[in-house]
Structure 1
């Protein structure tokens, strides 16, 4: 046992072997943030479990699935939950990622650490590693619990599977998106070196990234096409599909816009159809069985972006004075 300068034995703090040294220091520095995120995961998971139980009771009372139930059968809590899950990646990026290194740069902690026995790269790597690990665990847990609720009841919930509120909150997308936006946050923080400015810029960057992601989603896999006669009933296959585009087609396969013969009277419409020789409806769409492929492909893109930003942050930190 070590002693102090006064000769009084100093108490040795016991801690797990894996949390010693730099790892323990980083975790201790961010313990408040860690506890807040863990509390958010626990409370959020309990909320989801409670809402699922309420939904199950309501469906059972209504005789589902033997009987059809009207949509939606859930109250405002469902919309609040999906909105919060959608905001979670942005909140982690702004409140956790952006200040991660920027706060140390602004307060001078970064300069102090660089005078110790660890290199800047090792110190930054430890902080980024814990940041990404916490983000991954938290968002994976919430995504798993929400997916467990949504998947068996998707036909009676108000949002369809391709809506942002569902697509970005289920499967691998939520953790992958959170990791990418958090990486955007700490990269901005390292470059800007000021907490408030980093948080503002990160918020703007996250909004832009979310817009770009919403555009990219429909290009992750190839859509399918279905052709059926102009006067036929609407195929049930398209009831749960996400429509990309639709046309009307002539016998020779020439495509025209859906409203090409939207005339004022039925007689004029029939004349237009006859003139153009229209015989078929053509729909381009995504089906539910493509959702998993779209999500995992998108998650791969986001994780690749996370890796690039993390590598850049480490490279910048090792070559620039923090």
Structure 2
């Protein structure tokens, strides 16, 4: 006869031994996906180091920074690398998060485990801890290496710092996005209780989140504006800025669409400028100096979502049988 489910350990089992048993069980259950994640992290890390070495050799051969470097500096290998990093949160959500609890529910392992010496809460917290820990370590390592690869040479790369290939793969964004999507996968698995359905729904949810994140990214910090004469060049200090919008402006500050007089011939252009009184260019932009604050703001939003989803999973699992 099985022992009734309880949140208290039996008298014959110490908490320390029970904790070790729970960790051993989780590692044994998920050793395949954890080993795959470890291998992926190691291979991607070596790939990053190799790519950085190739970039340094290319720049040295071109005489950079004293000489300009022909564009594009990086090619298909860079695109493949950033695609892999950008896909990692989705991969973790679908193959690690979604089946984490759903597989145990579907196979009956959850009920079996919690009738032994491991309490339901201990088992759940252990699984979530290993899951989130593995995702966090992998993404922190890869994000740190990619930041080390990109930051010193960003001025010669033809990719803006606000593009997903850079913004989402450097700093805290990659780990935070991976944790949020993984937590979402776990939550979907607990709700649907079927592995395949959970993986499919998690993938669709991750695509929706990635799309929404693309729309949110520009709004993580207030934009700035800069006005300069119509016939002047954009100052060099704004060379790394991300242009959000551009206008033409008259002396009294009235804004016109940037192409208001752009298509006119020379004679018509003078007449158009005289009629509208346009004398300045106005650019609305996000500065590179805002990048770190924007990344931490976005990471904070994602981590808050991760905490909320994790609390919901623990709460629901403690109130309803798995």
So what's the TM-score if we normalise by structure 1? 0.91
* Cα distance in 2 for residues equivalent to 1:182 and 1:283: 39
Mapped pair 1:308 → 2:308: yes
Mapped pair 1:190 → 2:190: yes
Q: Retained in 1: the 8 A contact 2:97–2:182?
A: yes
Count of matched residue positions in the alignment of Structure 1 and Structure 2: 307
Q: Which residue is equivalent to 1:140?
A: 140
Q: Which residue is equivalent to 1:172?
A: 172
Mapped pair 1:286 → 2:281: no
Q: Which residue is equivalent to 2:64?
A: 64
> Which ranges in structure 2 are unaligned for 5 or more consecutive residues?
1-15
Q: Which residue is equivalent to 1:80?
A: 80
Residues 104-183 of structure 1 aligned to structure 2 (within 5 Å): 104-183=104-183
* Cα distance in 2 for residues equivalent to 1:320 and 1:71: 59
* Cα distance in 2 for residues equivalent to 1:291 and 1:17: 46
Residues 219-230 of structure 1 aligned to structure 2 (within 5 Å): 219-230=219-230
* Cα distance in 2 for residues equivalent to 1:87 and 1:233: 39
1:235 positional shift: 2.5
Q: Retained in 2: the 8 A contact 1:70–1:156?
A: no
Q: Residues 223-282 of structure 1, C-alpha deviation per residue, up to 9 Å, x if partnerless?
A: 111100112223223322110111111211121221223444333333222222212111
* Cα distance in 2 for residues equivalent to 1:18 and 1:164: 44
Q: Residues 206-231 of structure 1, C-alpha deviation per residue, up to 9 Å, x if partnerless?
A: 01101111111111111111100112
* Cα distance in 2 for residues equivalent to 1:18 and 1:123: 10
Q: Which residue is equivalent to 1:9?
A: none
Structure-2 change in CA distance of 1:58 and 1:260 (3 Å): same
* Cα distance in 1 for residues equivalent to 2:274 and 2:309: 57
Q: Retained in 1: the 8 A contact 2:114–2:120?
A: yes
Residues 39-58 of structure 1 aligned to structure 2 (within 5 Å): 39-58=39-58
Structure 2 residue matching 1:20: 3-state secondary structure = helix
Over aligned residue pairs, what C-alpha RMSD do you find?
A: 1.7
1:286 positional shift: 1.1
* Cα distance in 2 for residues equivalent to 1:251 and 1:154: 36
Q: Retained in 2: the 8 A contact 1:248–1:256?
A: yes
Structure 2 residue matching 1:321: 3-state secondary structure = coil
Q: Which residue is equivalent to 1:245?
A: 245
1:56 positional shift: 0.9
1:156 positional shift: 1.9
Structure 2 residue matching 1:237: 3-state secondary structure = helix
- Of 270-279 and 241-250, more deviation after overlay is shown by 270-279
- Of 254-263 and 156-165, more deviation after overlay is shown by 254-263
Residues 5-16 of structure 1 aligned to structure 2 (within 5 Å): none
* Cα distance in 2 for residues equivalent to 1:18 and 1:289: 49
Q: Residues 35-88 of structure 1, C-alpha deviation per residue, up to 9 Å, x if partnerless?
A: 111111111111111111111111111111121111222331111101110111
Structure-2 change in CA distance of 1:110 and 1:17 (3 Å): closer
Structure-2 change in CA distance of 1:193 and 1:233 (3 Å): same
Q: Which residue is equivalent to 2:319?
A: 319
1:147 positional shift: 0.9
Q: Which runs of 4+ in 1 moved over 6 A?
A: 16-19
